[in-house]
């Protein structure tokens, strides 16, 4: 039976993903894990929450990675560098995977982003959904926050590009990793459509398991 819903999304679909997760959580009476995941990673890593937010989905600054190569001969170990936090990308991945895994072990939760669909891709009790939208839709959505079409356009063009580079570098797969998802939905079709589709998918997966 499905006891976890993992929602990933393109940048610019953030508001939709969070709102959809909250609605699903209320309907199912499940816990919603969104910003709380970042807070938990920061607590375990003993760093400021802002540090984790900057690291999420980003490769280490070039200079930091270069210094690590010279100091320890590989990318496998993280050493503190003056002016940088000890929390590097590999440590970040380990902590996020740990927090997501613990949340999944408890179950009855909706998890937003943080690579949750990828980390939980082997679990049969997890419904994994990816939200996307056209560039124009994402720019319009972001304009309500940035108050600038130029800034919104810049974010749409760069954030997912960086995510794609991060996933390619650290996981050796293309982002979004399509085999991890049960469905990829266009958020421009509206929250009601996305919610209904997710709930229908959940019902069908549960029926399939029951009949089996």
Q: Is the pLDDT of residue 3 over 60?
A: yes
- pLDDT at residue 81 in the model: 39
pLDDT one-digit tens code per residue, 59-115: 555 444 444 444 444 433 433 434 344 567 788 788 889 989 999 999 999 999 888
Say if residues 39 and 49 touch (Cβ distance below 8 Å).
Answer: yes
DSSP E strand stretches across the chain: 4-9, 31-33, 109-112, 126-132, 183-186
Tell me, what DSSP letter sits at residue 186?
E
Long-range contacts, 18-27 (Cβ 8 Å, 24+):
18/112, 19/191, 20/131, 20/191, 20/194, 20/195, 20/198, 21/110, 21/111, 21/112, 23/191, 23/195, 24/110, 24/195, 24/198, 24/199, 25/109, 25/110, 27/199
First to last CA, the chain: 11
Calculate the CA dihedral of residues 173, 176, 181, 186 and round it to 10 degrees.
Answer: -170
For residue 120, the enclosing domain spans: 4-211
Give phi and psi for 183, each to the nearest 5: -155, 150
The residues with which 207 forms a beta bridge, in sequence order, are none
The CATH number given to whatever domain includes residue 169 is 3.40.50.300
- pLDDT at residue 39 in the model: 84
Total domains in the chain come to 1
Q: Which carries the bigger pLDDT value, residue 36 or residue 24?
A: 24
For the chain, give the percent of residues with pLDDT over 90: 45
Q: Is the pLDDT of residue 142 over 90?
A: no
Burial class (CB in 10 A: 0-12, 13-18, 19+), 92: buried
CA distance 143 to 141: 6
């Amino acid at each position: 039976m499905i006891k976890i819903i993992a929602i990933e999304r393109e940048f610019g679909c953030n508001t939709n993903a969070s709102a959809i997760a909250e609605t699903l959580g209320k309907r199912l009476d499940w816990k919603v894990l969104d910003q709380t995941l970042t807070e938990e990673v920061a607590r375990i890593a003993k760093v400021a929450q802002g540090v984790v937010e900057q690291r999420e989905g980003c490769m280490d600054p070039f200079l930091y990675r270069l210094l690590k190569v010279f100091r320890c001969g590989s990318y496998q170990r993280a050493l503190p560098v003056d002016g940088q936090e000890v929390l590097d990308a590999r440590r970040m991945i380990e902590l996020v995977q740990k927090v997501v895994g613990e949340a999944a072990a408890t179950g009855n939760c909706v998890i937003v982003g943080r690579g949750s669909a990828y980390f939980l891709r082997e679990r049969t009790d997890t419904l994994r959904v990816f939200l996307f939208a056209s560039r124009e839709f994402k720019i319009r959505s972001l304009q309500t926050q940035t108050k600038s079409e130029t800034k919104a356009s810049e974010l749409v063009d760069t954030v997912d590009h960086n995510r794609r580079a991060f996933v390619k570098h650290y996981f050796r797969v293309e982002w979004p990793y399509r085999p991890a998802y049960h469905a990829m939905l266009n958020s421009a079709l509206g929250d009601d459509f996305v919610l209904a589709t997710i709930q229908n998918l959940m019902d069908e997966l549960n029926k399939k398991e029951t009949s089996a």
